[in-house]
Structure 1
Amino acid sequence: MTISIQQETARTGAPALQRRVVSTELGLVSVRVQQSAGGVHAARGFPARSAAEVYLHGAAGSWTTFRPLLSKAPDTDRVLIDLPGWGASTAGVRLEELSVETMARAVVEILDSLGYQQWNLVGHSMGGFLALHLAARWPERAASVAAISATTFAVSEAARRPLRSLSRFPPFVGMLLTMRSMAAFGPSGTAVIRAVGTTPVMGLLMSPFFRDPAAVPGHVIRGLALDARPASFAAAVRGAGAYDFGQWRSIRCPVLATRGDSDVFTPPSDLFRLAAVVPHVRLETIPRCGHFANIEQPEHVQRLLDALRST
């Protein structure tokens, strides 16, 4: 059920974003829809003529991490979701029920509510994991998957055995232990992260995410601090620890899986293991890039997305 609609501005040359609030089994979820210029849109109550582009963010972010990919007018509608527990989708969220499966069902509830039957899924980090799960569970509806630095096998293992994983996966394990500690303090823990986000210290803390941290605008770093949701992060990692990756063998659509050449959160082994499980997958390493290719190399990412959708 759609609760409200608001207009928001977009980048120059691109259509405005419509903000909608949709009720799901995990609570109310904030969604942005950027409609194509074709004149007929599922979000207006009409059948979609082509698969919508659905953007799923990571556990360290919100829909705003995809802003660099929104600069040109879309050929089909774009749907950008603040996943339950993140961004503007935190009020009344049922974190005790949060898992990969419940998040996926919430996404499908949203897309059904908006009228989108076919999807080109674009997921970053945790969102890439979720996109692959959606394509496996609803193979008839997923037209393609772009998994940008999806955090998959290594994260799942670290979630089960964090201390054993510390030596080979220190950036993620350190972040996980920090988020778990902050989550134990409730809203006070989130407030601490946001306060640190206004200082130069946040730039140092976020530097492992980027190839060239000095080139990342300050407002991006501050935005990531504002988007920090320790309890949601901890719940998502807990769900990843129990995941059965064999499900991904049922994916039918083309899959693009990328990582940055300096990405410490998605190791090369994750892509190799993905290729052993997922049919029709293309692996790509993006040069001069860390974990956030959608921020550091958006033009490169857009070229890859265009090529994926043309297959």
Structure 2
Amino acid sequence: MSVQQEAAPAGAASLRRQIVPTELGPCTVRVQQGSGGRCPASGTPVVYLHGAAGSWTTFRPLLSGAPAHARVLIDLPGWGESTKGARLEHFSIEAMARAVTGVLDALGYRRWNLVGHSMGGFLALHIAAAWPERTASVATISATTFGVAEAARGPLRGLSGFPAFAGMLLAMRSMAALGPAGPALVRAIGATPVMGTLMSPFFADPAAISTGVIRGLADDARPASFCAAARAAARYDFGQWRSIRCPVLATRGDHDVFTPPSDLVRLAGMVPHVQMVTMPHCGHFANIERPEQVQRLLDDLRSPCGVRRR
């Protein structure tokens, strides 16, 4: 395990960057120490899991200030700085969950709070089901679950019910077929105004999203990894989520094209302690469009009184 210190976003505590081996390949993780300064084994960190079109940087808007608990930000195998040596042929939700918990074990953590965006929310729910005694809470930000899994099984059919996801999957398949040229092409498009138009369905107010954010999302695109995640979602057995015992906060934006209200309703029918929040004037990336509201909801989830509906 290699360790190095690096700068954090303005106003935030520094990050310790480490590389941890997993069954899916080397995994890059950043740890931000909590203000309590307790040793890992006695603390309960907040673990951030990004989506299939992201990396740890997706959560930068949530990292300001000194955290009360340690923050663990993982570039999942196949994304961000965890692409070299990633074993996508072995990818499944279960294998990815083992990779995450293996990282947390290596860091010395025995219990955790999970925050997952998009695919990361899907993954967080599985970890809560598979390790119920070690998961203190789950917060999902526009988790891509039932509807996306159904569209992934038949993207051509999914064009009618989930056009944004099905269209993105078909485009990613085309890019993945190009090999290393695929991500390079996405990055090249990301440097043009075209990418802003392509990403506009994912935001409630696309004009308010900076070109830097759009370019960052393009830089994080990993077509082969995206396709592997879609295949894993299509094969997943959602019945496993009936084992979840911790409090769950499930959020979506009212302009969300990936997470319909029906997904939250179906989740509430399977998991006993779900609180659902729909954020107004928000799309699929609430952590980018509404970071202050997201942070308040996360703080409420971990408070003794729980989440207040908004």
What's the TM-score, normalizing by structure 1? 0.96
Do residues 267 (structure 1) and 267 (structure 2) align? no
Question: How far 1:37 moved relative to its partner?
Answer: 2.0
Question: How far 1:79 moved relative to its partner?
Answer: 0.2
Structure 2 partner of 1:121: 114
Do residues 48 (structure 1) and 46 (structure 2) align? no
**Equivalent of residue 146 in structure 1, options 136, 139, 144:** 139
The letter for the 1-side match of 2:15 is: L
Structure 2 partner of 1:66: 59
Question: How far 1:68 moved relative to its partner?
Answer: 0.4
Q: Is the 8 A contact 1:129 1:150 kept in 2?
A: yes
Structure 1 partner of 2:14: 16
- DSSP-derived class of the 1:112 partner: helix
CA distance in 2, matches of 1:267, 1:13: 35
CA distance in 1, matches of 2:270, 2:154: 23
CA distance in 2, matches of 1:12, 1:208: 29
- 1:95-153 deviation per Cα after TM superposition (whole angstroms, max 9, x unaligned): 00011000000001100000011110000000000000000000000000001100000
The runs of 5 or more residues in structure 2 that have no matched partner are: none
Structure 1 partner of 2:36: 38
- 1:223-270 deviation per Cα after TM superposition (whole angstroms, max 9, x unaligned): 000000000000000000011111101101000000000001111111
CA distance in 2, matches of 1:175, 1:35: 37
CA distance in 1, matches of 2:37, 2:63: 19
Alignment size in residue pairs:
304
CA distance in 1, matches of 2:263, 2:230: 16
CA distance in 1, matches of 2:211, 2:196: 8
**Equivalent of residue 301 in structure 1, options 268, 290, 294:** 294
Question: How far 1:12 moved relative to its partner?
Answer: 3.2
CA distance in 2, matches of 1:48, 1:88: 28
Structure 1 partner of 2:236: 243
Structure 2 partner of 1:107: 100
Structure 2 partner of 1:206: 199
The letter for the 2-side match of 1:71 is: S
Structure 1 partner of 2:5: 7
CA distance in 2, matches of 1:279, 1:84: 31
Question: How far 1:41 moved relative to its partner?
Answer: 2.9
Question: How far 1:72 moved relative to its partner?
Answer: 1.6
- DSSP-derived class of the 1:248 partner: helix
The 5 A counterparts of 1:152-167 are 152-167=145-160
Question: How far 1:13 moved relative to its partner?
Answer: 3.0
The letter for the 2-side match of 1:48 is: S
**Equivalent of residue 85 in structure 2, options 92, 108, 117:** 92
Q: Is the 8 A contact 1:41 1:77 kept in 2?
A: no
What root-mean-square deviation, in Å, do the aligned CA atoms of Structure 1 and Structure 2 show? 0.8
- DSSP-derived class of the 2:65 partner: coil
CA distance in 2, matches of 1:75, 1:57: 21
Q: Is the 8 A contact 1:100 1:130 kept in 2?
A: yes
The letter for the 1-side match of 2:4 is: Q
Question: How far 1:34 moved relative to its partner?
Answer: 0.3
Once the two structures are overlaid, the 10-residue window that deviates more, 122-131 or 10-19, is 10-19
- 1:14-52 deviation per Cα after TM superposition (whole angstroms, max 9, x unaligned): 21011100000011000000001222232xxxx233x11
Q: Is the 8 A contact 1:35 1:41 kept in 2?
A: no
Q: Is the 8 A contact 1:61 1:87 kept in 2?
A: yes
- 1:47-82 deviation per Cα after TM superposition (whole angstroms, max 9, x unaligned): 233x11000000011000100000121101000000
Question: How far 1:273 moved relative to its partner?
Answer: 0.8
What's the TM-score, normalizing by structure 2? 0.97
- DSSP-derived class of the 1:71 partner: coil
CA distance in 2, matches of 1:223, 1:7: 22
Sequence identity (%): 72
CA distance in 2, matches of 1:124, 1:39: 27
